[in-house]
């Protein structure tokens, strides 16, 4: 699959728009909360991977899923589910570190896009 164009959005806010009832303030708050969670998740995942804390990797992946689903980031959603599944069911899999790294790359790309698109909030 081709990488998205740098300006092509990898997220879709339609779910947030529906739950917000059209409130831009709500959407903006959710974006700010997500950015905060994403930064903490990236730090936590790196530390958990470095220390071999598989339970923490699973927990962080599990916590991130609803937020990723709310902003419809399909590739990251698939990857984070793969991380959670590997951490839970095949914790010694040699694929786990690769999937964690891939999830963190995708999350970093999403954070970059959101920060660019919502720079007025930051």
Q: Which whole number is the average pLDDT over 7-21?
A: 92
Q: What is the CATH number of domain 23-117?
A: 1.20.120.160
pTM: 0.91
Locate all alpha helices (DSSP H) within 1-122, ordered by sequence.
Answer: 14-20, 24-51, 54-70, 74-89, 95-117
Q: What is the structure's pLDDT at 8?
A: 87
* Whether 110 contacts 55, CB under 8 Å: no
């Amino acid at each position: 699959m081709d990488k998205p164009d740098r300006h092509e959005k990898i997220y879709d806010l339609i779910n947030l728009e529906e739950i917000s009832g059209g409130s831009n303030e709500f959407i903006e708050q959710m974006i700010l909360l997500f950015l905060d969670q994403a930064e903490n998740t990236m730090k936590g995942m790196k530390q958990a991977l470095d220390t071999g804390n598989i339970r923490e990797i699973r927990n962080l992946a599990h916590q991130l899923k609803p937020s990723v689903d709310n902003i419809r980031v399909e590739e990251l959603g698939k990857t984070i589910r793969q991380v959670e599944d590997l951490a839970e069911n095949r914790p010694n899999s040699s694929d786990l570190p690769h999937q964690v790294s891939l999830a963190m790359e995708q999350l970093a790309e999403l954070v970059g896009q959101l920060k660019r698109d919502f720079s007025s909030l930051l």
